[in-house]
Amino acid sequence: MPMRPVILPIISLAVLLLAWELYVWIFAVPSYLLPAPSAIWASGTQIIGAVPIHTWATLFTVLAGFAVSVAVAIPLGVIISVNRLASEAIYPLLVFANAIPVIAVAPIIVVMLGTGIEARLVINFLVCFFPIMVATAAGILDTPKDYLDLGKSTGAGFMTGLLTIRMPHATPFIFSGLKIGITLSVIGAVVGEFITSNRGLGYLIVSSTTNFDLAQAMFSVVVLAFMSVILFQIVQFAQKLWFPWSIKANGMG
């Protein structure tokens, strides 16, 4: 394996962090305006005991919200792609629902559902179901006519055709949607925690900034970023593991 693609970005990052560190040090920027990377690291080591609890709280919202979104979005995507009536009846509403800025409705949802996990799940769902649904529908609709003819010529009924032709063909599309969805799910979870929570990385950011503890807030952001990247990689890995043929199909690894 060539090392260059691994080493180069690490060097760029190191240079960037060093420049940042020097800037803060040379101009003596106070840490409540811009903490140096070393300060962020130090702050992280101070709260390291509490980090797993907050990370887990956020991760739970991310995964639960993502699971609910997938469970709703994929069947919904199938329905709107194969049924004209359903598509005409509900698709405009879904577009409209997606157009509402979630941050704007989040406080309303909290009033309606309380400050528990339910509100956060709904907020999360609103952010991440749409791309998964649209990707599913696009994949189903993209099925080549020849494949459908093959099904027809062998006597495949609707369900058989859906399961053996349309869904497999839609798989690479669905995974594109899932990769966008899991990333949005992290955003959704943080928005939920901003509005209502006493735990989670989103909560940690809000409570740190209230105390002008930017180092701690930034450390939380770094943890969030890592979470997001790792989750994305897990989705990608699942695709490689279970649907290896779908990787090349849409040219997006």
Partner 1 sequence: MKDVLIDRVTKIFGADSSAPFTALHDISLDIKGGEFLSLLGPSGCGKSTLLRCIAGLETPTTGNVLVGGGGARPGFDNIGFVFQGSNLLPWLSVLDNVLYPARVKSRSTVEQYRDRAHELLEQVGLSHVANQRPESLSGGMQQRAGIARGLVMDPDILLMDEPFSALDAMTREELQFELVRLHQETGKTFIFVTHAISEAIFLSSRIAVMEAFPGRISQLIDVEFEYPRTLDLLNSKQAIDIDAAIRASIYGEAKTQAQTDR
- Contact residues: partner 1, CB under 8 A: 146-147, 149-156, 160, 164-165, 168-169, 171, 243, 245-246, 248-249
Q: Which is nearer to partner 1, 72 or 150 (CB)?
A: 150
d(CA 37, CA 158): 58
- Contact between 222 and 47 (Cβ < 8 Å): no
DSSP 176-206: HHHHHHHHHHHHHHHHHHHHS-SSSHHHHHH
Which structure tokens are listed for 198?
Answer: 């006493």
Q: Which is nearer to partner 1, 113 or 247 (CB)?
A: 247
Q: Which is nearer to partner 1, 32 or 158 (CB)?
A: 158
- Contact between 148 and 122 (Cβ < 8 Å): no
Q: How far is the CB of 206 from partner 1 (least distance, A)?
A: 46
Q: Which is nearer to partner 1, 232 or 243 (CB)?
A: 243
Q: Which is nearer to partner 1, 27 or 245 (CB)?
A: 245
d(CA 36, CA 18): 9
Q: How far is the CB of 87 from partner 1 (least distance, A)?
A: 23
Give me the sign of the Cα torsion angle 175, 177, 178, 180. positive
Q: How far is the CB of 15 from partner 1 (least distance, A)?
A: 42
